[in-house]
Amino acid sequence: MKSNNCIVGIYVRLSRDDERAGESLSIENQKSLLVRYVNEKGWILHDIYVDDGISGTTFEREGVQRLLTDAKCGIINTIVVKDMSRFGRNYIQIGQYIDYVFPMYHIRFIAVSDNIDTGSDNTIAMDMMPITNVFNEWYAANTSRKVRQIFIANAKRGKSNMSHPPYGYLFSDDGSRKFVINTEVSANVERIFEMRASGLPPARIAERFNEEHITTPQDYKVQRLGKYATIKTYHLWTDASVRKILDNPAYIGNLALQRRTSVSFKNHKAVYRPEEEWIVTENAHPAIISKELWRRVKEVEKSVSQGKKTRKGYTHPLSGFLYCADCGGKMKLDYYALKHNGDVTDMVYTFNCGNHKRLGKAYCSSHYIKAKDIEKFILDDVKAMASCVTLNEAEVRKKYLERKTKLAEDELMHNRKELDQKRRRCDKLDQLIETAFEEKIAGNMPEDLCVKLIERYSTERQQLLGEIEAMDKQVAMIANVQNDVDDFIMRVKKHMFDVTLTRALCFELIDKIVIGRAVSGEPQSIGIYYKVDLNLAQ
């Protein structure tokens, strides 16, 4: 390619991390340097392609993609950048472009500061290019690691790097960036939690909000800030937007940071961390909902019952809670209409073993029961339990705590010897790892043997630490028993005067219900398993 035939595309880039390097890397500085270079060469400048505030570890950049498209289409035949790191910091992809893509399309590539020119005979700079690319990627990886460490350190101090607060909150005006309740929409948040606690699935909550034309969190943010999101939106509440609110502990006053991370410094796709890796500051700001409501929602989320709608959209309160006593399968809901003179006067709901309904008596027998009968049985049992608790609350609580504490302590005593052995073994493994290092440094042990031993010791140690942690959690169980029983007693008393069975009652009190087989002339067994077993029969 003759020099006077060069049609140039200048590419400039600045990432947020580069901004710390000062003015020398600024967009304007790069433009000025490169335009002057092109003019001195007497080449034709077609366009300047810019990516501002974007990392070089990805090639999914609007400016660089437009540059590459124009180059492949023959609109430009020369690409000029300040240095290799401006073009990118992923040495594998850079190598693919320079060694394969650019030669195929007869594109000349020039990195001015690095003295790299694929159309030049200067082989020294080209020979050094792979090393330059590797160094640039190392720099990106090192910078990414430092930035992550800063974010983690800030999170441990309760300092957030969020660009905007969660829906229902605003940043305070004092510059501390603490959350304060946004009274314009906080009631919507509270209502979402109440609806979920009553058993409504997120999709149905979203439906309800859309029917009422409640502005979505994204649209509300646009209204307040005037900033439009780059993601596509239908301006409707969705299952995902409701779940995002339900999963955020900010609404009970806890600041949970480091909930998400990227796959790597090259792949910026966001992934959620396990909850145990979050950095949480409790009572960091005012709560919108109570912790009791938060617990109720989490119980609904963990419940065995998801519930199914009838063809007319009705979900029975017991849907998903009933199980067959014999085969363990879920009970299936059936219904039919009672009519008088052609008009529907009532709906009758019944349950039977789902496996019996599908596979017949060869698999499982009939466990047919009318819904109104099981509803009455549950309500009567809840009222009896509530009455007993009200009359003897102190005694009920005392016996429950004594029983649960003894069970926990017995289990701890049983495992204490094993726990001590595991801890001693961990201490021994620490010594073995240290000895292996010392033997390697002294030249008494080959490196490959040292590595194998340390890997084996470390693997065993990590497994033991996990087992020790699981055993230690049993100690915490004793402390939580008091909260469990107090919360459950409060719920029982709340439903003492209910006249109809609701789905909210089921979610708050019941784990599952087991139904025995239906035999004509014989009583049918019903077993109610509550979330907390007060064992009032004793």
Distance of CA 495 to the CA centre of its chain: 34
Q: Is the pLDDT of residue 144 over 80?
A: no
Q: Is the pLDDT of residue 120 over 90?
A: no
CB 485 within 8 A of CB 400: yes
Mean of the pLDDT values across residues 24-39? Answer: 84
Q: Where do we find the tokens 């590595």?
A: 451
**Which two tokens mark 525?**
């067994």
Q: How far apart are CA 374 and CA 368, in angstroms?
A: 11
Per-residue confidence (pLDDT) for residue 229, from 0 to 100 = 55
Q: What is the pTM of this model?
A: 0.48
User: Averaging pLDDT over each range in 326-330, 398-402, 439-443, which range is the top one?
Assistant: 326-330
Mean of the pLDDT values across residues 105-129? Answer: 75
In terms of pLDDT, which residue wins out, 73 or 447? 73
Report pLDDT digits (tens) over 265-306: 444 455 666 766 677 778 888 899 998 899 888 888 876 555
Q: Is the pLDDT of residue 47 over 90?
A: yes
Q: Is the pLDDT of residue 468 over 70?
A: yes
Distance of CA 462 to the CA centre of its chain: 25
Give CA separation, 287 vs 139, 241, 242, 247, 444, in Å: 42, 20, 18, 14, 61
Mean of the pLDDT values across residues 458-475? Answer: 75
Q: Is the pLDDT of residue 132 over 60?
A: no
Handedness of CA 85, 90, 92, 93 (dihedral sign): negative
User: Averaging pLDDT over each range in 20-29, 113-122, 316-325, which range is the top one?
Assistant: 316-325
State whether residue 173 is helix, strand or coil: coil
Per-residue confidence (pLDDT) for residue 78, from 0 to 100 = 93
Mean of the pLDDT values across residues 92-104? Answer: 78
Mean of the pLDDT values across residues 95-102? Answer: 79
Per-residue confidence (pLDDT) for residue 21, from 0 to 100 = 46
Per-residue confidence (pLDDT) for residue 265, from 0 to 100 = 40
**Which two tokens mark 454?**
């340390």
CB 109 within 8 A of CB 116: yes
CB 55 within 8 A of CB 17: yes
Q: Where do we find the tokens 């085969």?
A: 327
Q: Is the pLDDT of residue 259 over 80?
A: no
